[in-house]
A and B are shown apart, each in its own frame.
Chain A
């Protein structure tokens, strides 16, 4: 068994291209389509008619804003950027208020306005409190202002909000959607093309040579499937590591769980590949079937788009026998919905059952049809 594993590793080192291509494609597609190369910041040009505004807490708060990138600029440049479509919106700030200039009608305009109005409301609130306090001394005023801000940062009591989410509601995160979707999609190819050598070795006679050796048949299957599993899993681990530590995707703080609970999916795909290998007669048939199957699985399994937007009852029924559906359910459950382990047990169990059934049937058929 060790000999077979060593040979597979040696062959992998000599020809790593398939693995590299599918890993690269997963990362590339997820980065490009999911925008995970760090969200593209929306730049908002600002012009301060009164210099005081720029130095005030409003100016500081805008510069530190994490959602939008507010850039101080001249009035002419602001107008030019909006006219040329380089900025969706811009704002001219005064001591008393602001003027929002909208170039492109988008949801961002409303959110920018919210941000600005919140800050000015706070400013006016502070000014009114100062006026009501009757303190005229500059030092007293500053002391009061500090106390006020401190009390706002550490309130006497806090109000927390929670939302009920019905069973029909769903959440969408384009980064996770594309990252998980393309990872689970492309790993099908890597795994399938690693099971294919069994068919090739049978055709070439290598398989029969090994049968005649002291190596047991179960060792032959175990070595090949173990290797296939690890190469597929390695691909998933590499992609997730890159997104976690290079791109900076947080996985909802549950990176290790995402890595662990994707294992049943990889196992199910290995089993599906062996089942498919047993059904086809030639490598040409296998090569023809794999893309059709993988793309169909991705389409109805929620890899390309969220399964929740599919309305066809037939497609939804088909998705129930698709391992990719459950793989997405597990990963989205961890990273997007924040499901606990007991809520993930159902898709995990389905994948394990699928894996065991397809593996058993696949090996049985292969034995019956080929040797």
Chain B
């Protein structure tokens, strides 16, 4: 359906995206994962024809969209990262406006507005101006606007940023439902790996403008098949212990959070005895040692040496 071929974008001296290759098949939910500044939004702008690439091509159903974006634009719905709505208009007025620009009129427009409002759960608040909405409601309407013209391909750029867990769950379920019931192909970008894990069939991981991994969830996690991930918790986590972890040749990666340290080590290596000794030497009160199933976050950590949300 959509193919990105060696797509690059350079802003002055900065390579925002470099040689990105991707494909999206009809009916899939594709995740584009990466930390802030990884180049996800730039990639999305290029593949949706809003930004001209410095080099490379984007093909929609086998035809380049660079010179003729109309076929893609007819089919695409965009949910931008920002709340792209008129905050002084009501939900219904916003939907009327965006419906009209897609030449939807009269009874059909009314029917579609009702349908979308029901889908995003805002039927009761349709007459309220958007600026009075909560963050989650605004995000839902932001999605609703993109669905009004019944697109075949939906691009969602971090649609759950800054909202409460309840609204996030509602949005994630809605996305699933759209794909399942209406067969909408979805490209979903996020830096929340759990969202991508929950939603997506295949995943692309970007960092610093480059594609660093791609495949199904299992394929990506298999990158870590030769390593185990161990989570260490302690009440008095200290620098001496972390320093000795970093210096230990058996430990491949160390990621530190407030009361927890995550390490990666070879699957065959017996790391527990050295860990306990290091904890004793550093006078650390160990709380727990857990061997975890690798997550996408761990894969990202393995590939870049940084946590996804850094």
- A residues whose Cβ falls under 8 Å from a Cβ of B: 2-4, 6-7, 10-11, 14-15, 203-206, 208-215, 371
Contact = CB atoms under 8 A, between A and B. Distances in A.
B88 interface: yes
Given A205-B84, A208-B80, A212-B78, A11 B89 contact: yes
Nearest to B155: A212
Given A208-B78, A212-B78, A213-B102, A7 B88 contact: no
B88 A2 contact: no
B14 interface: no
A14 B97 CA distance: 15
B98 interface: yes
B100 A6 contact: yes
Given A3-B101, A7-B97, A371-B50, A209 B89 contact: no
B81 interface: yes
B235 interface: no
A90 to B, nearest CB: 60
A204 B82 contact: yes
B84 A7 contact: no
Interface of B: 45, 48-51, 73-74, 76, 78, 80-86, 88-89, 93, 97-98, 100-103, 129, 145-146, 149
Given A205-B80, A208-B50, A209-B80, A4 B101 contact: yes
Contacts of B76: 212
B86 A211 contact: no
A132 to B, nearest CB: 84
A11 B83 contact: no
A206 B85 contact: yes
B168 to A, nearest CB: 20
Given A10-B89, A14-B89, A15-B88, A205 B102 contact: no
Contacts of B88: 11, 14-15
Contact of B101 (A10, A205, A208, A214): A214
- Give me the 7 closest cross-chain CB pairs, A-B, nearest first: A205-B84, A3-B100, A205-B80, A213-B101, A7-B97, A205-B82, A206-B84
Contacts of A211: 50
A204 B84 contact: yes
Contact of B78 (A14, A203, A204, A209): A209
A10 B82 contact: no
Contact of A209 (B74, B81, B100, B145): B145
Contacts of A371: 50-51
Contacts of A209: 78, 80, 84, 98, 145-146
10 contacts: A3-B100, A204-B83, A205-B81, A208-B50, A209-B145, A211-B50, A212-B76, A212-B78, A213-B149, A214-B101
